């Protein structure tokens, strides 16, 4: 197999990897599978004191926001919202500042492309947040505020020959999980998964992301935007905050747990949103990027003689002519100065067959 054939195949594979979203979906699936395996392991059982009032709260049998409701609010609601709006909202054309439609300047984005990237973005936020939260929970092993009620400690095993009252109000002796008599293993394990709050992180990963997405669709971050749009965008964020606060009311977490979880979830939500959408202050913030690459254009041209020429930088870049530039001279092969302050790619003059790989 000759070298040009290998290079052409390599270029096509690399171009597919850099422009396709299949690797993103595969990575998310692998993260979910690894998280399922990881949760089968016990958390770190940190020692505690029977006289610690911070972990002496009662165990709430009925939660204000159970796990089923959390999945509904944090995952299903954003997915359903973006699906309905993306399919019903008409596509708007934007002024093209680049022949290939760089971010912020395209000729219009298909509503199905917009729906695909919106779903991929929110799923990325929820999955990464879930995996990272569970990882930190198991590693830290912080006792919940209701640990003693979960644990049901066997006071007779604390110290032989010492009165039970002395064991409780004594000098705060540290004990471990071995003193617990709880037979429900899952309930006991969850007693050491307090930091950070999973409800808080997941709610902000989903509903916090939805606030960002609605802000882009309504242009709430642009100058002169109406207050009504800002309030609408803030509603999911307020819902996420309410879920986080409910965890302190149920004595599942303290304020530090829910704060850390909320900040973690919203940071990941912002990262996931910005991977596929421009800033909220951009003129075209309501539409996603056409491809998942950067704004810069990269061209690889095969000249038919076993060599590749790479051109990098956005098309239509303006600036003064380089020294010695003129007709037929530019920054690289195939790129010519047009005499009007712009560079353009000239593919008209070529020898042999040209193969053009375009990616952003």
What sign does the CA torsion over 347, 350, 352, 358 have? Answer: negative
Q: Which two tokens stand for residue 343?
A: 């560079």
Q: Which two tokens stand for residue 49?
A: 């004191």
Q: Where are the domains of the chain?
A: 22-47+63-145+192-274
CA 343 and chain centroid, separation? 37
The residues annotated with a catalytic role in the active site are 199, 253
Q: Which two tokens stand for residue 53?
A: 């009032």
pLDDT of residue 38: 83
- Closest among 346, 354, 356, 216 to 274, alpha carbons compared: 216
pLDDT of residue 284: 86
pLDDT of residue 301: 42
**Helices in 39-76 by DSSP H: which ranges?**
67-71
In sequence order, what are the residues at sequence separation of 6 or more whose Cβ sits closer than 8 angstroms to the Cβ of residue 264?
Answer: 129, 132, 133, 196, 201, 204
Cis-peptide into 108, omega within 30 deg = no
Strand pairing report for 335-337 and 355-359: unpaired
Contact 261, 208 (CB under 8 A): no
The pLDDT profile of the chain, 360 residues, written as one tens digit per residue, is: 457 777 777 777 777 777 789 989 999 999 999 998 888 899 999 999 988 999 999 999 999 999 999 999 999 999 999 999 998 876 554 443 433 344 444 445 688 899 999 999 999 999 999 999 999 999 999 999 999 999 999 877 665 434 444 544 445 588 999 999 999 999 999 999 999 999 999 999 999 999 999 999 999 988 888 899 999 999 999 999 999 999 999 999 999 999 999 999 999 999 999 999 999 999 888 989 887 664 444 444 444 454 444 444 433 333 444 444 444 443 444 444 344 444 444 443 333 333 333 333
Contact 241, 261 (CB under 8 A): no
pTM for this prediction: 0.74
pLDDT of residue 241: 97
pLDDT of residue 324: 44
pLDDT single digits (tens) 163-180: 444 544 445 588 999 999
What sign does the CA torsion over 103, 17, 213, 107 have? Answer: positive
CA 191 and chain centroid, separation? 27
pLDDT of residue 306: 47
């Amino acid at each position: 197999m000759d070298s040009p054939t290998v290079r052409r195949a390599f270029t096509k594979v690399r171009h597919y990897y850099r422009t396709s979203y299949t690797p993103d979906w595969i990575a998310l699936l692998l993260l979910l599978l690894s998280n399922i395996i990881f949760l089968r392991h016990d958390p770190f059982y940190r020692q505690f004191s029977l006289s610690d009032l911070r972990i002496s709260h009662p165990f709430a049998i009925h939660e204000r926001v159970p796990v089923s409701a959390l999945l509904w609010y944090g995952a299903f609601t954003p997915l359903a919202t973006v699906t309905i709006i993306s399919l019903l909202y008409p596509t708007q054309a934007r002024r093209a500042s680049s022949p290939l439609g760089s971010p912020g300047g395209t000729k219009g984005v298909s509503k199905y492309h917009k729906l695909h990237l919106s779903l991929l973005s929110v799923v990325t936020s929820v999955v990464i947040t879930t995996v990272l939260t569970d990882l930190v929970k198991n590693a830290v092993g912080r006792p919940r505020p209701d640990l003693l009620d979960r644990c049901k400690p066997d006071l007779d095993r604390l110290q032989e020959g010492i009165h039970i009252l002395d064991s409780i109000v004594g000098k705060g002796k540290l004990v471990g999980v071995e003193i617990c008599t709880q037979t429900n293993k899952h309930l006991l394990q969850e007693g050491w998964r307090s930091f950070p709050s999973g409800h808080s992180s997941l709610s902000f990963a989903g509903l916090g992301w939805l606030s960002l997405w609605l802000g882009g669709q309504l242009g709430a971050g642009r100058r002169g935007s109406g207050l009504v749009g800002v309030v609408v965008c803030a509603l999911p964020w307020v819902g996420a905050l309410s879920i986080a606060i409910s965890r302190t009311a149920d004595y599942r977490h303290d304020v530090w747990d829910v704060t850390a979880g909320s900040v973690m979830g919203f940071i990941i939500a912002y990262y996931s949103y910005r991977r596929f959408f421009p800033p909220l202050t951009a003129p075209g913030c309501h539409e996603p990027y056409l491809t998942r690459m950067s704004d810069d254009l990269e061209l690889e041209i095969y000249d038919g003689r076993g060599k590749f020429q790479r051109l990098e930088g956005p098309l239509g870049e303006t600036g003064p002519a380089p020294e010695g530039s003129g007709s037929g001279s530019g920054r690289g092969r195939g790129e010519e100065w047009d005499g009007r302050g712009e560079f353009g790619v000239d593919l008209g003059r070529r020898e042999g067959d040209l193969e053009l790989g375009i990616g952003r």
